[in-house]
Amino acid sequence: MKTPIQFFFDFSSPYGYFAAMSIDELAKRYDRQVDWHPILLGVIFKTTESKSLVDFPLKGPYSRHDMVRTARLHQIDFKIPTVFPISTHQAARAMLWLQQQCGSAVAKQFAKKIYQAFFVDNINISESDAVLKIVTQCGLDSQEVASGMAQPDIKDQLKADNDAAIAKGIFGAPVIIADGEPFWGFDRFYQIEAMLKNGEI
């Protein structure tokens, strides 16, 4: 059994969304599984002395243009949400709880629906009500998830996962780690593919 690929993402990242839409398919072509790890860029940026792309002068407007153009080129349905970027700890906590209680397949389905709600349907998924609506759309019990995602051990796990990501050198998202090799950004997918294909890079 080959080592699973590690996929670190923030629900507020457009390039994380693009990656989420294709990472499992890419991995499958090379007989790999993918472990999904929601992280919080807002927290990580405090350590890395950075901020969201769109908050830098000049880089901000360009990045918005690049996101739309990249989505169009890759035929991914995408609109920049009205409220953007946002805090995503509610969605991340729900995801962690679903991974533990319902397994990775259910959690991934939820994650993709969260991304689509935010980047296609312009729903502000920073609020727990919006997150729980998507839980219901996934055929899950929203009361159970509401209670689960509020548990202190889930909050602690998200914090620990974030600290572990920083300790691994993760400073942005999406980051994909394959066989110990880190790749930052949707635009490195061609390099990930080259590595999975050739066994080295």
Q: Are 114 and 91 in contact (CB under 8 A)?
A: yes
- Least Cβ distance, residue 175 to a second copy (angstroms): 9
Nearer of residues 81 and 172 to a second copy, judged by Cβ: 172
Nearer of residues 152 and 199 to a second copy, judged by Cβ: 199
Nearer of residues 61 and 103 to a second copy, judged by Cβ: 61
> Site residues (CB under 8 A) for a second copy?
47-50, 56-59, 61-62, 65-66, 69-70, 72-73, 166, 169-172, 182, 184-185, 187-188, 190-191, 194, 201
- Least Cβ distance, residue 49 to a second copy (angstroms): 6
Is 177 strand, coil or helix? strand
Q: Is 183 left (phi over 0), alpha (psi -120 to 50) or beta?
A: beta
Quote the tokens at residue 135: 């839980």
Query: Taken in order 105, 162, 154, 85, is the CA torsion positive or negative?
Result: negative
- Least Cβ distance, residue 135 to a second copy (angstroms): 33
Q: Cα separation of 108 and 120, whole Å?
A: 17
- Least Cβ distance, residue 28 to a second copy (angstroms): 23
